[in-house]
Structure 1
Amino acid sequence: MTRRRMLHAFKAAAEIGNYQDEAVLPADTDPQIYLSRNWLPQPFHLICEKDTVLSQLSGSAHVHLRDSSVNRFRMDVGDHVYVPAGTPHQIVPVEEGVTIRYQPLAAGRQGAAWYCPECGAELHRYEWQHDNDGSAVALYAEAVARFSADLDARTCGKCSAVHPEISLEPYGWTTEPA
């Protein structure tokens, strides 16, 4: 995968979309930095095996945390949020903004988790091995498509509520090979 240069973060961000998480540093740099321009709520809670840090370059967003003593942070320009390893977190933009994610070069496993809209119980999660050279969007799109297609995964075992299907279209994501 061709890497973007971080020298012009806002110029690079103008060319990417929601939760694209584009690597912007040389491949052997640790920690690695991933760039996204977001205007829609993240359609899942991301779980990272290792600690991660989010930083808001423009705009503002809320970071919703699960399984944590803190439920939500608001990020404005210049703010950083430390997300401990294994903590499910979801970025919900207040206004369009550019976010960077710092992750270790050997980031380990990642996953996407969904929660019941009625009772908050975890419904389902998909996991994968993080690849610094692979497309985050392809993995995210595949996880969302699998979740949306699986009625059992979307049905809460506690209260029987059904999570709605999630369309990839607003995100500009596809499960088709590029």
Structure 2
Amino acid sequence: MRIILTTALVSALALPGCGGSSGGSAYNPLNWFGKSRNETVAPEATNALIPQKSAFRRERAAPEGVAVAQILALAIEPAAGGAILRATGLSPTLGAYDVRLVPEFDLEVDGPLQTLEYSLKTEYSTRSRPAAPQRSRELTAAVFISDEDLEGVRTIRVTGAENARSVRR
């Protein structure tokens, strides 16, 4: 009992000696990394440990997609710094995924436009797609349009396979 008590007393007195004094101690694991320092990194410096191209992932082109059958609704909602264009379409069958609004214009080439035209496109799975009610086949996609892109635009139009909808200012 006397040996255990002596060992506990010695360790209890020695442990604060390893504590955080102003200079720090090399024996205290909490002081091993020290305080953080601000460093500048050259912009062209990259991490050599992160590969630029994965050996396991194949490069594939961006899927073009299939136009949605009908455009059911189109709305523009104001947002900070621009607007959100939201389109709802109807798919002919189930199994649609990756729904997106694809721009059919190029602002750098075309310059200021009067009409912004988008297509509502999606991808379909290869599995069998049973018939389903309309509510379960509705698809919604949205895109943010900045104030700079909206400058001078009078009409925004979204097209599908069978119809198109547009909104005006």
TM-score (norm 2): 0.27
Computing the radius of gyration over CA atoms, which structure comes out larger, 1 or 2? 2
TM-score (norm 1): 0.26
